[in-house]
Amino acid sequence: MKKHNFNAGPSILPQSTIENTAKAILDFDGIGLSIMEISHRSKEFQAVMDEATALFKELLAISEGYSVLFLGGGASMQFAMVPFNLFEKKAAYLNTGTWASKALKEAKLFGEVIEVASSKEANFNYIPKQYTIPSDADYFHITTNNTIFGTELHEDIDSPVPLVADMSSDIFSRPIDVSKYALIYGGAQKNLAPAGLAFVIVKDSVLGKVSRAIPTMLDYRTHIKEGSMFNTPPVVPVYAALQTLKWMKELGGISVLEKINKEKAALLYDEIDRNKLFKGTAAIEDRSLMNICFVMNDEYKSLEEEFGKFAAAKGLIGIKGHRSVGGFRASTYNALPKASVIALIDAMKEFEKAH
């Protein structure tokens, strides 16, 4: 039976990414060797890195003055790398969830951190809007999509100080105005590649301003200078990322994906709002297009486990909500077909009829 993959991350990737990467693992570009067993300094792999970097810039319309990096260590490493490179006296953070809190915690190791606002009191079910960004902060950090709580900032905000964003779970889901950001980072394992890779988009001019010594591996300038090849990069995830970037380009680019993502999310949210058994957990204006969180309505709470099993029997995989929200979370990343969303909606309708 066909599985509908709603996993939150690692999560569904385009079929072409998986197939092309599988081929390169067996025989890379017809050279008679696996991509896993050749030098990252070979001309064949260098071409992969160059093309992935160029296509990444092209798809997000990243202008001159910004560098794109592919690094190990996941998004969590960036929680520390950002302050290492940008924190001098004070930083400001918007606390919108578990990952934002973790980023903030790392920054506190470097000095004064202002939490400009938090939605913790409401279990992070909305994105705070009323706050002041201190004009003397070295940077302001946001998490544009809160994977666990299903809230998302749908616009690129204005910030009086350099803006830093964790876009782990919504990168490439909509066009972004990169010029509004000093730095954007994320783990690749949602909309881009298998786990093991982080991407960083950094405005070159924000670097080199802190007085501390930065360990070589944690200094963005090292990786800019060496084209993400200061040390051995995660070659297979980079290869897979290139395949996903090509897939996005062939589809027509990010604005086409945004349109499809809006359609998929609207279909599912409409059903959550209509169906007597379920209700959404996130504030309506902040509802994520990538992670759609919902729970059983109070009077049907006892049916939660049964619906989970019912959905699993229909091949709907990965819809269990994170333990800090409960209920269900359907992740509708770029590669998830509309047909999978419709399959989930059909299951919700069928389950409603039976109860």
Catalytic residue among 99, 203, 264, 286: 99
- Would you say 319 and 329 are in contact if contact means Cβ atoms under 8 Å apart? yes
- Would you say 311 and 347 are in contact if contact means Cβ atoms under 8 Å apart? yes
> Binding site for L-glutamate: what residues are annotated?
41
Is 247 a residue of the active site? no
100 phi, psi to nearest 5 deg = -60, -40
Number of residues that bind ligand PMP (CB under 6 A): 11
Q: DSSP strand E in the chain: where?
A: 4-5, 66-71, 90-95, 112-118, 140-143, 145-146, 151-152, 163-166, 183-187, 198-203, 278-280, 291-296, 316-317, 328-331
**143 near ligand PMP, judged by CB under 6 A:** yes
**74 near ligand PMP, judged by CB under 6 A:** yes
Q: What does DSSP say about strands 145-146 and 183-187: parallel, antiparallel, or unpaired?
A: unpaired
**169 near ligand PMP, judged by CB under 6 A:** yes
DSSP 188: S
**166 near ligand PMP, judged by CB under 6 A:** yes
Provide, rounded to whole angstroms, the least separation between the CB of residue 184 and ligand PMP: 12
| 236 vs 345 by CB, closer to ligand PMP | 236
- What residues form DSSP beta bridges with 71? 198
Is 190 a residue of the active site? yes
Angle, CA 164 vertex, CA 127 and CA 259 arms, to 5°: 60
Provide, rounded to whole angstroms, the least separation between the CB of residue 136 and ligand PMP: 27
| 140 vs 307 by CB, closer to ligand PMP | 140
Of residues 172 through 211, those in contact with ligand PMP by CB under 6 A are 187
Of residues 80 through 109, those in contact with ligand PMP by CB under 6 A are 99
Is 99 a residue of the active site? yes
> Which residues have a catalytic role annotated?
99, 166, 190
Q: Name the residues that contact ligand PMP, by CB under 6 A.
A: 9, 74-76, 99, 143, 147, 166, 168-169, 187
